[in-house]
Structure 1
Amino acid sequence: MRLNIARGSVTTYIIIVGVVYATLLAPLGAAGGVPVAWANTALHIITPIYALADWILFSDRARIGFNRLWIVLIYPIVWVVVVLVRGATDGWVPYPFLHPDTGYASVFFYVGLIIVVMLAFGSLVFWISRMRSILRVP
């Protein structure tokens, strides 16, 4: 069951990578991703679509209870803390909307948004785990 929760959490994270890229970073052009075009496509578009399709289509997962949804937040909270500490100390952050120069009110708005979106997509992924899969894995 722990592996299934970890897989559901990772599926949530990579779906959010795709959504954040499509909505916030792709419009920035080269500044919104890595400088290698095929890597952007593979990481930010193909992998999230594949992960969601895999989660929906295949039955090699157990039902995940919503009482475990909090687990989805562990990695993003640790990641945000590391990013904010690093942004405050040396100024580097991976995304422009988390840069301290935009003001901490803006940064914490996006952090709150990250938590809400993580819970929303985590709920969707956990809900899908309770649905019947289209394809059966022996």
Structure 2
Amino acid sequence: MIGIVPSRTGARIWHALTALTVLLAVGTQLALVIGDVNIGFGPSNAPLGQRLFEFFSYFTVQSNIFVGIAAGLLAARPDRDGAYFRVLRIAAMFGITVTLLMYHFVLSPLANFTGVASASNIGLHYVVPIFAIVGWILFGPHPRVSWKALFLALIWPGAFIIVTVVQGAVTGFYPYPFVNIDVLGFPTVLINGVGIVALLLAVGSAYKLIDWLISRPKKRTT
């Protein structure tokens, strides 16, 4: 069973649209960063190299890129499988879901975007997540979530938090306030980091449960 809607054509179209949405959202935001129009939650006069480094330091951007890669692969082959793909797919799904939740409930009051930057920001934090989640439910492919893939995928956010804290301590740049060790101190940031990884694990576990429910054989009634 590939998904709730077993249509290869429908799956190809949906995944292709998802990948295109990622390309537009990330590409537009990247163009603004290169043009020094907008970076993070405000303008920056930093050198281009630093602006690019900061841009790709955001968990949101990384999650969107993972979604775009997975969607592109599925647009080419909707029933794609494999050990590496499973890790990529679940990482993209729990990453983009937590991106949506964290932005909507925690970070959106801090945003200061206008015009095209506002549109691309909505794309990154709302449109892409919704496309990804709906596409995963409708088209899958299912089953593809294993405990091994889920735990391997958690290496990414764990490494992200460590690298973010280390580079922040060196450069003074923190993409998110809850990992700012200079302001919060190490114990609080450690608790926040563990909490984020736990949240990602919980979301990934929910996806595994849904994956099982969708893919389990239906009982025939007589």
Fold shared, TM-score > 0.5 on shorter chain? yes
Q: Structure 1 residue 125 and structure 2 residue 207: aligned?
A: yes
RMSD: 1.9
Contact 1:12/1:121 (<8 A) preserved: yes
| Aligned-partner SS, 2:154 | helix
The number of residues matched between the two structures is 130
- When normalised by structure 1's length, the TM-score is 0.84
Instruction: Report the Cα offset of residue 9 of structure 1.
Output: 1.7
Per-residue CA deviations over 1:42-69 (Å, capped at 9, x if unaligned) read 0011111111111111142334233443
**8 A Cα contact 1:72 1:122, kept in partner:** no
Q: Does 1:12 align with 2:94?
A: yes
Larger Rg: 2
Q: Map of 1:1-138 to 2, 5 A cutoff? A: 1-2=82-83, 3-30=85-112, 36-100=117-181, 101-132=183-214
Q: Unmatched 5+ residue regions in structure 1?
A: 134-138
Asked whether the equivalents of residues 18 and 45 of structure 1 are also in contact (C-alpha less than 8 Å), the reply is yes
Per-residue deviation at 1:104?
1.6
The one of the two structures with greater contact order (alpha-carbon pairs below 8 A, sep at least 6) is: 1
SS of residue matched to 1:36: helix
Q: Indicate conservation of the 8 Å contact 1:69/1:122, yes or no.
A: yes
Q: TM-score, normalised by structure 2?
A: 0.54
Check conservation: 2:161, 2:179, Cα contact below 8 A.
Answer: no
Q: Percent identity?
A: 30
* Distance (Å, rounded) in 2 between the aligned partners of 1:9 and 1:125: 11
Residue 12 of structure 1 aligns to which amino acid in structure 2?
F
